């Protein structure tokens, strides 16, 4: 019998999905289960979105452009502009959820053996995306004692090796909820610029800020515009996890060109979610 690939052997099971069968078994026994293993909002999807699905006026559910419908990219650009993030529709690539945006960013920017520094605790599936691209996650441990803030600049810099290619930041952080301060973001900016690293910025939870702390997007950091790849998704913002629409946004033309090769290979993001 042929053996599976080494990549398949080392790919971890999702700890998020691994708990689902156990939860269902418990629910079948009449137990009340709180699903803290997965970020599934329990608020209703906005009615305007549900109505749009009910009244789709199309005779053919066709392929869209590989980069997504222009009408959606224009609306996304207007959305980001409201938050002080200056972006053009041409700099936005619509993806099949934020997960595909992370995966395509890794595939386009990293070579096998390249290292990504990721503050932890972190979203578990980052590891699976890295393994898919042959990259290596190097965890940067953060402590609950200081609300999961980043270590000092010097401690962070010690993590960088000759194989370090990128920093991945989730801001606000999933699962800790930490919002990175202006000082922390400046330290990140300095490291990215000094070592010419990619900065993958997962900003899916941008609107989930419940304090006076302002959210600073990586795309607002000066001097590293071509280093930043922003990851976003409508899943949590509009309680539309199943619609599978995300975005990869960057001003780096070469990265967009290379990401588009992967986009073309998967044809297009879901039409229904873009309408």
C-alpha 88 chain-centroid distance: 19
Which residues, listed in sequence order, are joined to residue 229 by a DSSP beta bridge? 200
Query: CB within 8 A of 124, min separation 6: which ones?
Result: 12, 14, 15, 16
Q: Walk along the chain (275 residues) and give the pLDDT tens digit of each residue.
A: 998 898 888 888 887 778 888 889 999 999 998 888 788 888 899 999 999 999 999 999 999 999 999 999 999 999 999 999 999 999 999 999 999 999 999 999 999 999 999 999 999 999 999 999 999 999 999 999 999 999 999 999 999 999 999 999 999 999 999 999 999 999 999 999 999 999 999 999 999 999 898 999 999 999 999 999 999 999 999 999 999 999 999 999 999 999 999 999 999 999 999 98
Question: For residue 92, which of 244, 242, 234, 232 has the smallest C-alpha distance?
Answer: 232
Question: For residue 67, which of 225, 260, 219, 271 has the smallest C-alpha distance?
Answer: 260
For the entire predicted model, the pTM comes to 0.93
Pull the structure tokens for residue 173.
């952080």
CB-CB contact of 150 with 142 (8 Å): yes
The pLDDT value recorded for residue 13 is: 84
The pLDDT value recorded for residue 92 is: 99
Instruction: For 162-201, give the secondary structure using H, E and C.
Output: CCEEEEEEECCCCCCCCCCCHHHHHHHHHHHHHHCCEEEE
Dist. CA 75–CA 260, nearest whole Å: 20
The pLDDT value recorded for residue 217 is: 98
Burial string for 43-59 (b: 16+ CB within 10 Å, else e) reads eeeeeebeeeeeeeeee
47-274: CATH topology is 3.40.640
The pLDDT value recorded for residue 207 is: 92
228-233 and 198-202 as β-strands: parallel, antiparallel, unpaired?
parallel
Residue spans of the domains in the chain: they are 1-38, 47-274
């Amino acid at each position: 019998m042929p053996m599976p690939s080494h990549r398949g052997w080392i790919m971890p099971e999702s700890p998020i999905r691994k708990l689902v069968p156990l939860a269902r078994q418990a629910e079948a026994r009449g137990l009340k289960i709180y699903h803290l293993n997965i970020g599934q909002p329990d608020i209703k999807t906005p009615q305007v979105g549900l109505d749009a699905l009910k009244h789709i006026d199309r005779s053919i559910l066709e392929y869209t452009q590989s980069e997504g419908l222009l009408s959606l990219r224009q609306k996304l650009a207007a959305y980001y502009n409201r938050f002080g993030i200056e972006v053009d529709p041409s700099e936005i690539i619509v993806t099949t959820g934020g997960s595909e945006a992370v995966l395509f960013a890794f595939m386009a920017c990293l070579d096998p053996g390249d290292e990504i520094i990721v503050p932890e605790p972190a979203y578990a599936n980052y590891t699976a995306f890295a393994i898919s691209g042959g990259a290596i996650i190097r965890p940067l441990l953060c402590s609950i004692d200081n609300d999961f803030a980043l270590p000092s600049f010097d401690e962070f810099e010690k993590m960088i090796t000759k194989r370090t290619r990128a920093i991945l930041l989730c801001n606000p952080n999933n699962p800790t909820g930490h919002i990175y301060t202006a000082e922390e973001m400046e330290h990140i900016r300095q490291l990215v610029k000094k070592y010419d690293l990619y900065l993958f910025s997962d900003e899916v939870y941008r609107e989930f800020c419940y304090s006076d702390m302002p959210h600073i997007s990586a795309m607002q950091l000066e001097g590293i515009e071509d280093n930043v790849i922003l990851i976003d998704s409508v899943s949590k913002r509009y309680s539309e996890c199943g619609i599978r629409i995300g975005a990869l946004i960057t001003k780096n033309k070469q990265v967009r060109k290379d990401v588009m090769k992967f986009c073309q290979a998967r044809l297009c993001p879901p039409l229904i979610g873009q309408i």
